[in-house]
Each structure stands twice: as structure tokens, then as C-alpha cells.
Amino acid sequence: MVARPSLLDWEVMLSKDNEYRGFVVVALLAIVFTGVQLVYNGSLTPHEHSWTIWRSLASPTGMWVADATLVGSMFVAIGLVKLLVSDCISRATFRLLHFVWISTWVGTALWWSWVAQWDWLPTIFFVLHTFCMLCKHYAYLAGNSELYDYSIELRQLKRDLAVIASHASEHHDDDAAIVHSIEARVEELESVLYASKVVFPQNVTVANFVDYLLIPRLVYNLDYPRTDGIRWDYLLGKVAGFAMSFAFLYMDIEFCIMPVLNRLTTLSFTGAVINLIMPMMVAYMMVFVIIFEFILNAFAEVTCYADRAFYEDWWNCVNFAEFARKWNRPVHEFLLRHVYLSALRTGRISKSTAAFITFFLSSVAHEVVMIWASKRWSLWLFAMQMSQLPLIWAANLPFMRGHIILGNAFFWFGLAVGPPLLMIAYLRDHFL
């Protein structure tokens, strides 16, 4: 299978079929020239740069030990699923163990990062990685639990068909409709459990779990679309792109953002926001490209994962609800399947309430990252994310729906002003 490329993949952007490839080349050269300019100007005033970001990245040996322990402990999930599929424990017991283990695991990880007193940058990395692995951890246990339920249902339906077949002479007209319904459900379940190369419960192995951990998706499936092999030139290009983008991000933070933050006490609130808008916008875009274009594509290439649609055209969004769906598809798919749809399956929650719960949990997770990084309960990010709800409502008004460009401009204004406001709010809480 041929890989489905991401929208901003170099193979797409620099393709001879792309009429705007010249602008892409100019943009790349502009990034290089800007980086050279930043380094040159920074070398003229070395006393203004403390290189705190570099020291923060280089120092936390304990963080890497904690991160390795975090990932290694996830293999307990295989044992829990083995107990379930081997019928050693009941479904209710598995649910209890699932809840206790996940709670203990994430609680220990967060406690470790809180008491370790790492700098803010390694703390943010560790907590984000914890939440990423939490999603994978939960999805693996919940996904296999769902497959187990399907296998139990399939066995029961086959027994029912056998019973009906044993009384074939007593069949009535209604029985034919029942048999047809059962056979349709059996076919549906078998397509889920046995249609792929990996079948349940033979999937419950260390190799399958490692493969799932490396695949850049948070939702667990028995199998995924695959390419024919690794393209080493493509992988090398992604590694080189990561290095270049990370270097530019570092220069942007060191030479454009940190000087403003170091003078925060002498700047007015308005002056600080104005000086941070463009550097923060550049940093935001670089972080997006590094994660979704280079890191995820590199992992996809290593695992031969074919579907590279990790994001959609979020830059054309007209409201933040659309942005939440498009800019991070792996997280969106996880929240959709394991939070939103799970809430709806209870039968006691409406769609609007399920959507609110999903949005609320996402806001809480984002705020936890900031609390752990700043060691303060400021709740600025939580408040700003929850304030998107009335903005989403306003964006759905007939006037806004009829003015797409206006909605997109409003979206970009919020994206440009929001990060500087958050940065200043948290730093003023911390230092003032």
C-alpha cells in the first residue's frame, strides 16, 4: 500500500504538480535566513542571552529514567488482558483492575514529576508524554475489553444458530428472519475479530503491544493500513527536517521570546503582548510542524503505517470547535471514541452534555500541564479554553456562518493573541 501523505508533507508541497512550490522554497529559505540573522545578532550581544533553555534540555537525567520507567510499566496491561481473555478473571474484575491500575499508574507518574523539581521544559515534556501514554494505555485495555465482549457475543450467537439448526423441522416463517438477523450479526463480528492479519485473542502479545506503542495513533485496532516497507531517504528527510525545525524553534525562543520575558517587569502589559505575538506565533507553528509533520511521520515510516493524515486543514478553520477536530486528529479520535461515544453509550447523557464533558476533560488535561510546569494553581489556560464555548456558539450564528473569511480572521486573531496572554499571565503569577 502507498502511504497517504499529510497535507504539508514535502512530497506534496515540493511536488512538480504543486503550482505553489516556489513559495514553499522561498518560505524555507526565509526560515534559514532568519535563523542566520538571529544567531548573528545574538552573537553581538552575548551578555543578553543566558542559554537557560539549552541547560534545561541538557540537565534532566532523572527525567529520562522516569520516562523509561513510565513506558516500561505499561507492559502490565498485557498481563491484565491475558487474564481476561483466558477467563481467569470476570469482566467486572477486569474493569476494577483496569481502573485501579490506570489510576495508580498516572498518579505515580504525576507525583514523580511533581516532587522531582525538574525545570519547566522537561516537566512539560514528561507530563505531555504521560498523557500521551495514558491515552494509549487506556485505549489498549478498553479496546481489547471490547474485542473480548465481541468474542463472547459471537460464541453465544453461534450456539443459538446451532440450537435453531437442531430443531430445523420445527421452524416457522419467523425463524428464517431470526436466523438471517443472527447470521448478519455473526458476519459483522467476524469481520471485526478475524478479517485482518491480526486476529483476537492472538493479538495479546508483547510484539503487538510494542508495535502499537510505536504507531502514531492513540486508538487501538487489531490492524492498521501498512506500506510495503521503510523509505530510508524519506525517513532521513524527516529526521533532517526535525533537526532544522528544532534549531529554528530554539533560536526563536532564545533570541526573540526570552529577551522579552527577561524584561517583563519593565514592560507594560500591552507592550509585552505586542512584542510576543510574532515570536510566539512562530514558536507555535514550529511546534506543530515538529510534532505532526516530522516526529509522527518518522514513527509512521518506521512502523510502515500508511495513513499519515495526522491533521486536516486547520488553518482554514472558522471557529475553535472545527480547530479542535482538525489540528490534532490522533487526540480527537481518542476523545471521540473513548470519551464522547462512551458517554453516549450510557443512554443517560445527551450529545451536548457528552461534548461538554469531552471539552472539559481536555481543558483539565491542558491545565494540569501548566500547573505542573509552573508549580502554581493559576487556571489561566483552563479558563481560556472554557471561554471558547461561547465563542463557538457565536461562530455558529447565521451572520458568522455567512462570512467565512471573517470567521477565519477571528480564529487567527485568537490563535495569535492567546499564547502571549497565557505566557504573560503565568509569568506574572510566578514572579510578581
Enumerate the active-site residues. Answer: 366
- The three cell numbers of residue 206 are 508483547
- The three cell numbers of residue 189 are 463480528
Closest CA to 320 of 381, 382, 417, 410: 410
* Angle at CA of residue 232, ends 228 and 238, nearest 5°: 110
Query: Could you tell me if residue 197 is left (phi over 0), alpha (psi between -120 and 50 degrees) or otherwise beta?
Result: alpha
**Omega into 201 within 30° of 0, i.e. cis?**
yes
Residues sharing a CB contact under 8 Å with residue 228, sequence separation 6 or more, in sequence order: 1, 304
Residue 374, phi then psi, degrees to nearest 5: -95, -15
- The three cell numbers of residue 84 are 481476561
Task: Match 499519515 to its residue by C-alpha cell.
Answer: 308
Residue 26, phi then psi, degrees to nearest 5: -60, -40
Say how many residues make up the chain. 432
Closest CA to 239 of 284, 285, 293: 293
Closest CA to 10 of 358, 324, 293: 293
What is the rounded CA–CA span in Å between residue 313 and residue 58?
A: 35
Q: Is 331 exposed, middle or buried, given 0-12, 13-18 or 19+ CB atoms closer than 10 A?
A: middle
- The three cell numbers of residue 346 are 450510557
